Structure 1
Amino acid sequence: MSGKKVLMLTGEFTEEYEIFVYQQGMEAVGHTIHVVCPDKNEGDLIKTSLHDFEGDQTYTEKPGHLAEINKTFSEAEAELDSYDAVYCAGGRGPEYIRTDPRIQAIVRHFHETQKPIFTICHGVQILMAVPEVLKGRKVAGLGACEPEVTAVGGIYVDLGPKDAHVDGTMVSAKGWTALAAFMRECLKVLGTEIKHT
């Protein structure tokens, strides 16, 4: 099997685990992950954040590591047909990149061409900006996103912290603690089979 090409949508303060763990895990099995951010070029760095639940009413946020953009945004836009799937990483980035018409056009492209869409945590906010993507679909995300999912006609799925959900070729999860299950389901959708001997 030849490796697949996945476009990862990020912004400043995207959740670091959902960039690094996903990218490195997928690359380890032979897939290409292009990490892009609006108006950023290959080689640019973005700040990331680390979210955790530590007994407060909501999550805490701490500075993460710098993440390297490995594909110029405008180049990725021009090559959408070459990608096999799009991945919406979570954290704080989605709340503002979702308002960018270019991001919306990218999501719409994957929806209309019926290619896989992967989303975790707040990544579902990116999909909310293109309501037809979620209409009638079952999707997971951080619990705080449930009202928005419902408002655009989606069906929110309340998963355990280590679980993932599959609706056709859409894979979703609640947050970074589910990355193992999430990536396992993404690999299945991409047709990647890992055998142990």
Structure 2
Amino acid sequence: MRGLIAIFAFLLLTGCSTEEPKDWLLKDPSRWPLAALPGSASKSGMPDGAEKVLARIQVAKYDMVSWIHSKGVCGLADQGSSDATFNMSQVLTESEGNIATTEEGFAGPKELMAGSSWESAVTLWCTPTRMFVTVKAKDLGKVRIAGNAAAKKTNGKLTVVIGTPEAVKQSLPDATMIGR
């Protein structure tokens, strides 16, 4: 009987595990928490490469929308009439697996991230669970947030998190603006 118990204990301790690989979330965009979020309104339709708009951010000279595509792409596009026109995107499913902590001003778990910026004024960081946007401007002016996002304005910088209510609260607990 002792031998049977020892064998059972050995099997439990040595890999009789049914855990999924750690990168399952990254490799299957249909299971991303971002993919489950409801779509949000866009001023001028879908940006190139987008399948769903998640939030709209209006600040300074920017009128931006955050978006995703089920192929594992997330992005940020300016849709304003100003001289700022861009459409940044990141393919997370092709990531080399760089685990990074979030940018200064954000909190949250360590997870795979990819980022890009536009003229050092707007940055975008994407993960399967949330998106981080930073806008730097001398005069941010009035800020409007719509959709699955929350934001905080401090010292010439707007910090925005796009994601589920839980992810937004975790990543930007002291947000002063909440999207609707």
Q: TM-score range by the shorter chain?
A: under 0.3
Larger Rg: 2
TM-score under structure 1 length normalisation: 0.26
When the two structures are superposed, what TM-score results if normalisation uses the length of structure 2? Answer: 0.28
Structure with a larger share of its residues in strand:
2
Higher helix share: 1
